[in-house]
Chain A
Amino acid sequence: MQRITSVLKVNSHQFRNNELHNRRLADELKERQRAARFQRPERELERLRRQNKLFVRDRVEALLDPHTPFLELSTLAANKAYEGEVPGAAQVVGVGIVAGREVIVHADDASVKGGAWYPLSVKKIVRALDIAIENRLPVVHLCDCAGGFLPLQAEFFADRYHAGRILRNQSILSKMGVPQVAIAMGHCTAGGAYVPALSDYNIIVEGTGAIFLGGPPVVKAATGENVSVEELGGAHMHTGVSGTSDYLASSEMHAIAIARDIVAHLKRPAKASIDRAAPEPPLYDPCELYGIIPKDPRVQFDMREIVARLVDGSRFHEYQPRFGTTLVCGFARLHGYQIGVIANNGVLFNESALKGAHFIQLCDSNRTPLLFLQNVTGFMVGREYERRGITKDGAKLIMAMSGASVPKLTVICNGSHGAGTYAMAGRAFDPRFVFTWPQAQISAMGAEQAAGVLTHVKARQLAREGGRLSKQELETIREPILEEYRERSSAYYATSEIWDDGILDPIDTRSALAVALSASLNAPIEAPHYGVFRMYRRIWVRGHWMRPSVREGAPVDGSGGMQL
Chain B
Amino acid sequence: MLSLSFTQQSAVGEIDVYHTFEVDGVDHKLWLSPCRQGYRLHLTDQVIAPVKFVSHNDSCGLLTIAGEAEPVRFVVDGDVLHVLIRGRTRTLRYRDPLRTLASVAGQDNSLVARAPMPGVVLTTTVSPGQSVSAGMALMMIESMKLETIIRCPQDGVVDRIHFEEGDSFERDAVLVTLTKEGR
Q: Do chains A and B touch in the complex (CB under 8 A)?
A: yes
Chain A residues in the interface with B (C-beta under 8 A): 34-35, 38-43, 45, 55, 57-58, 61-63, 66-68, 206, 250-251, 253-254, 256-258, 260-261
Chain A residues with CB under 8 Å of B4's CB are 38-40, 42, 45
Residue of B nearest to A70 (CB): B9
Contact between B17 and A257 (Cβ–Cβ < 8 Å)?
Answer: yes
Contact between A257 and B16 (Cβ–Cβ < 8 Å)?
Answer: yes
Chain B residues in the interface with A (C-beta under 8 A): 1-6, 9-10, 14-18, 31, 33, 40, 42, 97-98, 101-102, 104-106
Known A57-B6, A251-B104; further 18 A-B contacts with Cβ < 8 A: A39-B3, A41-B2, A41-B3, A43-B2, A45-B4, A58-B14, A61-B15, A62-B10, A62-B15, A66-B18, A66-B33, A67-B42, A251-B101, A253-B16, A253-B101, A254-B102, A257-B17, A257-B101
- Contact of A58 with B102 at beta-carbon distance under 8 Å, contacts A67-B42, A253-B16 already known: no
Q: How far is the CA of A57 from the CA of B14 in the complex (A)?
A: 13
Contact between B101 and A254 (Cβ–Cβ < 8 Å)?
Answer: yes
- Contact of A251 with B6 at beta-carbon distance under 8 Å, contacts A58-B14, A66-B15, A67-B42 already known: no
- Contact of A58 with B6 at beta-carbon distance under 8 Å, contacts A250-B102, A257-B98 already known: yes
Q: How far is the CA of A254 from the CA of B6 in the complex (A)?
A: 22
Chain A residues with CB under 8 Å of B16's CB are 62, 253, 257
Q: How far is the CA of A146 from the CA of B15 in the complex (A)?
A: 26
Q: Smallest Cβ distance from B183 to chain A, in angstroms?
A: 23
Contact between A66 and B17 (Cβ–Cβ < 8 Å)?
Answer: yes
Q: How far is the CA of A35 from the CA of B3 in the complex (A)?
A: 9
Chain B residues with CB under 8 Å of A43's CB are 2
Q: How far is the CA of A267 from the CA of B15 in the complex (A)?
A: 26
Contact between B6 and A38 (Cβ–Cβ < 8 Å)?
Answer: yes
Chain B residues with CB under 8 Å of A66's CB are 15, 17-18, 31, 33, 42
- For the complex of A and B, 10 pairs with smallest distance between CB atoms: A250-B105, A42-B2, A254-B101, A39-B3, A66-B31, A67-B33, A257-B98, A253-B16, A41-B1, A257-B101
Q: How far is the CA of A484 from the CA of B140 in the complex (A)?
A: 83
Residue of B nearest to A66 (CB): B31
Q: Smallest Cβ distance from B21 to chain A, in angstroms?
A: 15
Q: Smallest Cβ distance from A220 to chain B, in angstroms?
A: 31
Residue of A nearest to B96 (CB): A257
Q: Smallest Cβ distance from A253 to chain B, in angstroms?
A: 5
Contact between B42 and A55 (Cβ–Cβ < 8 Å)?
Answer: no
Residue of B nearest to A67 (CB): B33
Contact between A40 and B10 (Cβ–Cβ < 8 Å)?
Answer: no
Chain A residues with CB under 8 Å of B102's CB are 250, 254
Q: Smallest Cβ distance from A251 to chain B, in angstroms?
A: 6
Contact between B6 and A250 (Cβ–Cβ < 8 Å)?
Answer: no
Q: How far is the CA of A41 from the CA of B15 in the complex (A)?
A: 24
Chain B residues with CB under 8 Å of A261's CB are 98
Q: How far is the CA of A66 from the CA of B17 in the complex (A)?
A: 8
Chain B residues with CB under 8 Å of A57's CB are 6
Contact between B101 and A250 (Cβ–Cβ < 8 Å)?
Answer: yes
Chain A residues with CB under 8 Å of B3's CB are 35, 38-42
Contact between B17 and A260 (Cβ–Cβ < 8 Å)?
Answer: yes
Chain A residues with CB under 8 Å of B9's CB are 61
Chain A residues with CB under 8 Å of B40's CB are 67
Chain A residues with CB under 8 Å of B105's CB are 206, 250-251, 254
Q: Smallest Cβ distance from B3 to chain A, in angstroms?
A: 4
- Contact of A67 with B14 at beta-carbon distance under 8 Å, contacts A42-B2, A58-B6, A250-B102 already known: no
Q: Smallest Cβ distance from A458 to chain B, in angstroms?
A: 40
